[in-house]
Chain A
Amino acid sequence: MTATSGPASTGEVDKVAEAVAGCPAVARLSGGRAREVATYLPGRSVTGVKVLSDGILVHVVGRYGFSVDEIARQVRTAVTALAPGLPVHVGVDDLQLAEEASAEGPAGGLPPGP
């Protein structure tokens, strides 16, 4: 196993995306400023996950109320469980406020109160 032999296959990128989206502090995956963070696959792409030469890049929109440290910690824990030993670079692109979340419909756990 080399350092870059992590989620190289398409199924593993999907698993990483799913695990990250399931974190309580994560509202959704994010493609970054210019949607540059994505893994391109035949016929589709997985937004927010990209395999770099020195690790995995994951970009998310966090839930307001969680600290950035906590968001990054949860994402790292989720990804490390699937790809042990690889550095996980986390980008927090935005925070979703509670009222924005309700406008989009419930998508998991609620952020903590004020």
Chain B
Amino acid sequence: MTPSTSTSATTVTTTPVTQTSGAPGSELVSSQGRTSIADAVVQKVAGVAAREISGVYAVGGGSARALGAIKDRMPGTASSASSGITAEVGERQAAIDLVLVVEYGVSIVDVAQAVRRNVISSIEGMTGLEVTEVNVNVNDVHLPSEEPDPEPARVQ
């Protein structure tokens, strides 16, 4: 399943986040009309936020990428920018599942927490939705020797 035989897949599913404050300025239903936010919006924001964290080699990976290739062909599903990310979006809340590949040598727990913090602040800031949980699933570790990698795969 994983692209590498030298690393065993590591799965760290961390506990849901306790929400500290309500969604800031969430005026999704007002007298001037409703605002609805599609899953793809939340997925994309979460994907960009996760890639921003140093130590994250890729978002998605393994079976998530394979599923993403199938999902790309389905109408109405998210683009590859959101592969490996599932978002459940309600009227005021959102829950996110992320699949990550991390760099070898990082503290997975610390990276997962940094990803979670950044995902929550990005989604709450950009959508006004309250994030109830961010489940981080680390499914591989990227070794520097695995590939020469001519192009950097993560956000600088």
Contacts and interface: CB of A to CB of B under 8 A. Distances in A.
B37 A92 contact: yes
Where chain B touches its partner, the secondary structure class is mixed
- How many interface residues does chain A have, given as a range? 20 to 34
A97 interface: yes
Nearest to B40: A94
A62 B35 CA distance: 13
Interface in B10-44: 25, 27, 31-38, 40-41, 44
Interface stretch (B98-106, B107-115, B125-133, B134-142): B125-133
B75 A68 contact: no
Contacts, number: 71
B90 to A, nearest CB: 14
Instruction: Name A's interface SS.
Output: mixed
Contact of B37 (A34, A68, A88, A97): A68
Interface of B: 25, 27, 31-38, 40-41, 44-45, 48, 75-76, 78-79, 81, 125-128
